[in-house]
Amino acid sequence: MLSTFGVVFPIFALILTGYLSRRLGALGPDASRELNRFVVFLALPALLFDIMAHASWAAVYQPGFIAVFGFSCTAAFAVTVALRLRARRPLADASIDGLNAAYGNTGYIGIPLCLVALGPASQTGAVIATIFTACVLFGGAIILVEIGLQAEKRVGPLALKVARSLARNPLVIAPALGSLVAASGFAIPDHAEIFFKLLGGAASPCALVALGLFFAGKSAPKKRDDGAVGLLIVLKLVGQPALAWLLARYVFALSPIAARTAVLMAALPTGTGAFMLAEYYRREADVTSAVILFSTIASLLTISAYLAFGG
């Protein structure tokens, strides 16, 4: 548990930094929104581009691992969206909630935690999970949110409007361009590489500070659906890793290290990507911020239990 806490502690420290900065007046009431816009339009696109531009497709092509982790994420996302739509939530809100239940903190917690708990052999799987989460799952959620926000119901015009919105979205454009760079074999110059590393490295810490600023700027929540918050946390910390374990053990028969990596990455708390979208689209920010905070706290117990008894 101490190793898990050591990896998770900086997350709480950054959230607390944002919270105190707002409460003490160091940053103003618009700081959370503006910092989140910096993440969405600059830092996160740089990070996604850098990840995709350096993806070694020969190394990450592990169909069994991709199937286990990808299906567990997709199932958690799809079940959540279906449940929230059944509860008469708009598609845009249901899609954000789907991210809350499926989008793990792979980069900031997952990669270092796998290295500490499982060793260097787990790093390829951790990178695969990060790429799937940050690009495939995230991109799919953006598409559904955009569909939900369009008033047009006819298929043709709706598809055109969504395509136009996606074509202007840096979170879609950046990984697509990175994939083209990787496919072309083009070597990014060193000075450009430093630029992307510096800018992309700001994504996670700035998003966590923005989350703390958001908490500090809110009064006691009046309309937050705490039942939904609890459901999303259970789906993320219990449902998704349980499905990954079943698939890894009984369906795809992964090697022990691959199976443990897949389950551990599926068991991660909700990442800040969900909050970035919630703030950017002005949907479900209260629920999302609560899920990120409380799932991170609860994951200290759930991940430690898995490492002690199942990993």
Task: List pLDDT tens digits, range 232-289.
Answer: 999 999 999 999 999 999 999 899 999 999 999 999 999 888 888 888 888 878 888 8
Contact 86, 258 (CB under 8 A): no
DSSP 1: -
Q: Which domain covers residue 221, as residue numbers?
A: 2-310
Q: What pLDDT does residue 296 have?
A: 86
Give the residue-averaged pLDDT of 191-219. Answer: 84
Which pLDDT tens digit goes with each residue over 79-100? 999 999 999 899 999 999 999 9
Q: Would you call 246 helix, strand, or coil by DSSP? A: helix
Give me the helix-helix angle, 31-38 and 203-217, nearest 10°: 160
Scanning the chain, the segments in alpha helix (DSSP H) are 2-23, 31-38, 44-53, 57-60, 63-86, 91-102, 111-118, 123-131, 138-149, 155-167, 170-184, 190-201, 203-217, 226-234, 240-246, 256-266, 272-281, 285-305
Mean pLDDT value across the chain: 85
Give the residue-averaged pLDDT of 127-132. Answer: 85
Cα–Cα distance measured from residue 48 to residue 59, given in angstroms and rounded to the nearest whole number = 18
Cα–Cα distance measured from residue 252 to residue 243, given in angstroms and rounded to the nearest whole number = 12
Residue of higher predicted confidence among 242 and 156? 242
Q: What pLDDT does residue 233 have?
A: 95
CATH number at 146 reads 1.20.1530.20
Contact 96, 277 (CB under 8 A): yes
CA dihedral 232, 233, 235, 241 (to 10 degrees): 150
Cα–Cα distance measured from residue 245 to residue 69, given in angstroms and rounded to the nearest whole number = 9
Contact 104, 76 (CB under 8 A): no
Contact 50, 178 (CB under 8 A): yes
* β partners of residue 201: none
Residue of higher predicted confidence among 27 and 134? 27
Q: Residue 156 above 80 pLDDT?
A: no
Q: What pLDDT does residue 257 have?
A: 92
Cα–Cα distance measured from residue 278 to residue 289, given in angstroms and rounded to the nearest whole number = 9
Indicate the number of domains in the chain.
1
Q: How many CA atoms lie within 13 A of 63 on its CB side?
A: 2
Query: How is 7-20 classified by DSSP, letter by letter?
Result: HHHHHHHHHHHHHH
261: Cβ contacts below 8 Å, ≥ 6 apart:
65, 114, 118, 122, 125, 126, 129
Nearest to 235 by CA among 87, 84, 98, 95: 98
pLDDT band per the 50, 70, 90 thresholds, residue 17:
very high
